[in-house]
Chains A and B, each alone.
Chain A
């Protein structure tokens, strides 16, 4: 039987209360959201917080809404809600593509957006999605609110800029007109973590020139889950399948995958290119309004 080491349990009643509890208990305290990454780590003694602060009652962090020019998503939004959201399906089908292949439906009932990106597992799908989309991460402490770009949010494997007395409260994604987005993942079996995955968005002007593009990569050692060289190769240029193939090759070249039980490094690098290509092709179809 796997049991976590003993800890003290506190249930936060509001964001302010959670922040006060984090301050009171110091760096040995951790928030628990869905618990689907943290509790397994605690069972394996890979994490051993002395105090767990349960933020599941913070229903005011569970929303997906259009807010000005952005879509604002609360950190406690569950995977299942991201999968079924009509707002995200309309503006960013990349979320639906990714969520369909994140874990299984039961895990998706508990795991949260905030927990996913704060876990910062190199194989976490939503980290690559936020990086591709150029999302803004909204972080709160008792001092106030600060925002960090998704590409500065992760400081390394399992590390983010969120301090011990801070909470990620919201993820914001700018709404872009004439935009298409998509996510492509290869896993070994249904519900498993990615061997590799790639996601992107692109926007086009009426002449077919790429006005903006973002490419995210999962599980292949891409710094900050993104592929800036591949983006630069597309941005400002006319879109074509040759351009997509060339950009995908640049994305693959920028990866640094590790050989592990999910596959050898060269296979993962190959997948990074192939999945970037497929995601760009699908995003293009969507940007042109030609398919779902």
Chain B
């Protein structure tokens, strides 16, 4: 028994025939081929599967693709615009905000959402915002610095010159 689901992923409308039990993380990775969304604990604990659902961070292993129908999803693939990195991505690059990179898409999307509502967060606010995602490499210091870097460089032109 299948159903048709249509949603917007990174600004593009996508439509697939799926089983209702398909989780959003597998829809994005296996049906759409966007493997930037990672998949870890499968138990809604580790937070590596975070995507933005209507702009708000959500654990995609605990959302049905069917539930995302009609909504806007943004994944890490949707962060850079026309070949220009998002300030958060640039911050992770500048401040070595990643080691193995497994948690990085979730961390960056969470940071993007945070900066949209709070453009100048304190390090405490950053730590509170990201604690839904575990960094297995425990590189939290640099992740926090990377997000501060992005807060301090909202316009990319300032740094790429």
Contact = CB atoms under 8 A, between A and B. Distances in A.
Contact of A32 (B56, B67, B69): B67
A7 interface: yes
Given A56-B67, A105-B131, A105-B132, A110 B59 contact: yes
Given A6-B20, A52-B20, A109 B58 contact: yes
A11 B20 CA distance: 11
Interface of A: 1-9, 11, 32, 35-36, 39-40, 43, 52, 54, 56, 103-107, 109-110, 190-191
Contacts of A110: 58-59, 62-63
A6 B56 contact: no
29 contacts: A2-B43, A3-B23, A4-B21, A6-B1, A6-B19, A9-B20, A11-B66, A32-B64, A35-B64, A39-B64, A40-B44, A40-B62, A43-B42, A52-B20, A104-B47, A104-B131, A105-B57, A106-B57, A106-B110, A106-B132, A106-B133, A107-B44, A107-B59, A109-B56, A109-B57, A109-B58, A110-B58, A110-B62, A110-B63
Contacts of A56: 67
Contact of A106 (B19, B43, B50): B50
Given A40-B44, A105-B132, A106-B110, 4 more contacts: A35-B64, A43-B43, A54-B64, A106-B132
A105 B64 contact: no
B129 interface: yes
B132 A6 contact: no
B158 interface: no
B116 interface: no
Contacts of A109: 56-58
A105 B69 CA distance: 23
Contacts of A35: 62-64, 67
Interface in B119-161: 128-129, 131-133
B3 interface: yes
A40 B61 CA distance: 9
Nearest to B129: A105
Nearest to B49: A106
Given A43-B42, A109-B57, A109-B58, A8 B20 contact: yes
B62 A36 contact: yes
Interface string B93-119: 000000000000000001000000000
B160 to A, nearest CB: 31
B42 A1 contact: yes
B64 to A, nearest CB: 7
Contacts of B62: 35-36, 39-40, 110
Contacts of A104: 47, 131-132
Contact of A2 (B42, B50, B59, B66): B42
- Please provide the 3 A-B residue pairs with the shortest distance between their CB atoms, ordered closest to farther: A106-B132, A104-B132, A9-B20
A191 B132 contact: yes
A190 B127 CA distance: 11
Most interface-central of A9, A52, A56 (chain B CB within 10 A):
A9
A191 B131 contact: yes
Nearest to A109: B56
Given A35-B67, A56-B67, A107 B20 contact: no
